[in-house]
Amino acid sequence: MTIELESIRHQVADADEAIDFCFRQGWSDGLPVVPPTEDRVAGMVQASGREPDDVVGVIADREIVITVEKVAVNAVLAGCRPDYMPVVLAAIEGICDKRWAYHGPSTTTSGPAVLIIVNGPISRELGINNGDNLFGPGWRSNLTIGRAVRLVMRNVCGSIPGILDRATHGHPGKLSYVIAENELDSPWAPFHVDRGFSQEQSTVTVIAADGPRQIFNQLSSTPEGVLTTMADDMRISGGVIGQTHYIVLLAGEHMEIMQKHEWTKRDVRRYLFENTMNNYAHLRRTNRFTGPAKPGDETRIRPLVSNEDMIFVIPAGGKAGAFSSYIPGWAKESWSYAVTKEVRK
Amino acid sequence: MNLEAVTASLDAVRQTLEASGFNLEIEERETAKLTVTVRPGPDACPECLVPKSMFKRIILDNLGSAELSPSSVVVRYPVDLA
Amino acid sequence: MIELLDPTRELREGKMKYAARPASLEGLRVALIENTKWNSEAVLHKIGDKLVADHGAAGFKVFHKRYSSVPAHEEIIETVRREFDVMIAGVGDCGSCSSGTVLDGILLEKEGIPSASIITSVFVPTGHAMAAQWAVPDYRFLIMEHPIANLTGDELDVKVAAILPEVVGLLLKDPAS
């Protein structure tokens, strides 16, 4: 099948010049990119199983249309393998979903990244890391899939730092922020089943999110013990004002404790919900809410999240080490919902 | 398709090609599909041609009122004639 | 030469933003980017001489592109950006080199260097196509009567004298103003 690609072509002398050219054009996220030649882009489009001019998503209000071809060019830039395309496309569909509400998370000074959680068979087929160095370097799939999404945001949607991306600090997840769930070792139904999909389906969930916060507990041998440490850290953290999603990642040693004591995800969520309450007096004294503490504020309680289902519990991370992490979502749930899309091959 | 009007629209493009030793052939090989062939003459300068993708854009931009869509214009370059 | 596909939205409707123009060429350093085509260097050299003799430019340097059909390579662009005040590129007298020369002007303007790109008359459609490709369809380039490759030195002097006022005009006045 001959694939007709419509993108403008730019001529450069050779592959070395091509890398500098891509930098100079502002197409890069700061790292060298793979020059997007016709063969490479055609290979990406072919692997998607879709036509190059198929619309993947539309950013409402900005009249930005994202086609398969443009995703393919940016996937090449990112260094993706062609078989990553269905995952990249699902993530783009997710951020274009009205519920994700692109404008807010992509422009705000609070600088969230796009956390991408991959579930189902595709995560294993593509070797998307769910273990050691969960957020770290070394996995082409994790790093290039996330990078492709960010490059689409930059190059197609115009989310460029200082222009339409006004993050004060941002965080390293804005280069790439992709993880998979450790479904095979988990006693629980996987995250995408919670989200309404079947185990056999593959999905991508996109969440506007802050950076991960790691907690350490080597002393406890009970779920309550481990989660008390986590709750203490979570209680005053990113989402304390707005009530947003929280993503809790339980790594190997802590998951063993949960499993040994037969705790369900619901048990974990409930414990964390109940133990991450603040009172208004504290929130005012620490200048998170305005004004001095008023009578009754000491006993007026504000939960961290609006309800316990806002806490997503996911087994992921290495087997060794008494560490787990949580990730605060962005701002307020209603400003950008977590969105899950099926990966279609 | 009014090939006379199309040929007139592409006169400047023809002159551009002839300056580098190429001839421009314009045909309607299939209904509503314009085939534009760039054929080398004896003094053709092969490095002087713009890339095929750019040439197609030049054709589309110069067609003006004919307003054909990209998929209804077929460009044949010397490499396609071998 | 390799082709790269554009990863951006490809907005086609932009307007060219030119670099800030100097009040005069007095004391300015002139970069001349020649595209290796026959007589290109001769034309640019003659223009450089005139800018020094008649307009007070401090001096000029000729840069040689590696390939005429692509933009000047990174080292040239960097050096011109750092060490020169204005740039003249030329002479695009074929399809591919005219697009390359027009692109030299567009790229250097983006780097803040007032520039003038010269192509020959028959290749105006190609010059416009390159400008459109870069979403600056209004980009102004200069046109010299075709051909120039087979001209003598005296004949080139006549061409240079005719185009010089336009070169100076483009370097000193923002076409968009």
Query: Distance (Å) from the C-alpha of residue C135 to the closest C-alpha of chain B?
Result: 13
| Closest approach of C129 to chain B, Cα-based (Å) | 6
pLDDT in the model for residue A88: 98
C91 touches chain B (CB under 8 A): no
Residue A272 tokens read as 């964390």
More confident residue, A208 or B48: A208
Q: Which residue of B has its CA nearest to C99?
A: B50
What pLDDT is attached to residue C8? 95
The candidate with the shortest Cα–Cα distance to A328, out of A193, A236, A195, A224, is: A236
- Which has more confidence, B1 or B77? B77
C93 contacts on B by Cβ (under 8 Å): 19
- Which of A4, A6, A9 is the closest to B54 by Cβ? A9
Calculate mean pLDDT across residues B30-59: 88
Residue C91 bridge partners (DSSP) = none
Q: What is the dihedral of CA C98, C104, C109, C113, to 10 degrees?
A: -120
Q: Distance, in angstroms, between C122 CA and closest chain B CA?
A: 5
What pLDDT is recorded for position C12? 63
Residue C135 is predicted with a pLDDT of: 83
* Cβ-defined contact of B20 to C95 (cutoff 8 Å): yes
- Map out the domains of chain C with their CATH numbers: 29-172 (3.40.50.10350)
Q: What is the pLDDT at residue B67?
A: 63
B26-37: average pLDDT: 90
Query: Which residues of chain A does B51 touch, with a Cβ-Cβ cutoff of 8 Å?
Result: 9, 11
C5·A77 Cβ contact <8 A: no
Whether the CB-CB separation of B40 and B46 falls below 8 Å is answered with yes
Instruction: For residue A64, give the chain C residue with the closest CA.
Output: C9
Residue B71: its chain A contacts at CB < 8 A? 4
Q: Do A41 and C5 touch (CB under 8 A)?
A: yes
- Chain A, chain B: beta-carbon pairs less than 8 Å apart: 8
The answer to whether the complex's ipTM is over 0.90 is: yes
Q: Which fold does the domain B3-81 belong to in CATH?
A: GMP Synthetase; Chain A, domain 3 (3.30.300)
CA distance C68 to A245: 56
Query: How far lies C8's CA from each of A34, A72, A143, A157, A273, in Å?
Result: 15, 11, 21, 8, 43
pLDDT score for A1: 56
Pick the residue from chain C with its C-alpha nearest to A69: C7
pLDDT of residue C114: 98
> What is the Cα–Cα distance from A312 to A194, expressed in whole angstroms?
9
Chain C residues with CB inside 8 Å of A37's CB? Answer: 2-5
Where does residue C82 rank: exposed (0-12), middle (13-18), buried (19+ CB within 10 A)? exposed
The whole-model pTM stands at 0.82
pLDDT on residue B65: 58
Residues of chain C with pLDDT under 50: none
Which run of H or of E encompasses A62?
none
List CB contacts of A144: < 8 A, sequence separation 6 or more: A75, A78, A79, A80, A81, A84, A176
Contact yes or no for C125 and B58 at CB 8 A: yes
Question: Per-residue pLDDT tens for C81-117?
Answer: 999 999 999 999 988 889 899 999 999 999 999 999 9
pLDDT in tens, B49-70: 888 888 988 898 888 755 677 7
Average pLDDT along chain A, 345 residues, taken 10 residues at a time: 84 92 95 97 97 91 89 98 98 96 89 97 98 95 98 95 89 97 97 97 98 97 98 87 93 96 98 96 91 93 95 96 96 93 95
Burial class (CB in 10 A: 0-12, 13-18, 19+), C78: middle
Peptide bond into A204 cis (omega under 30): no
Residues of A with CB under 8 A from a CB of C: 5, 7-15, 17-18, 20-22, 24, 27, 35-38, 41, 64, 70, 73-74, 76-77, 151, 155-158
Q: Is the pLDDT of residue B2 over 90?
A: no
Q: Give one DSSP letter per residue of C88-138, joined into a string.
A: EEEEE-SHHHHHHHHHHHHHHHHTT--EEEEEEGGGHHHHHHHHHHTT-TT
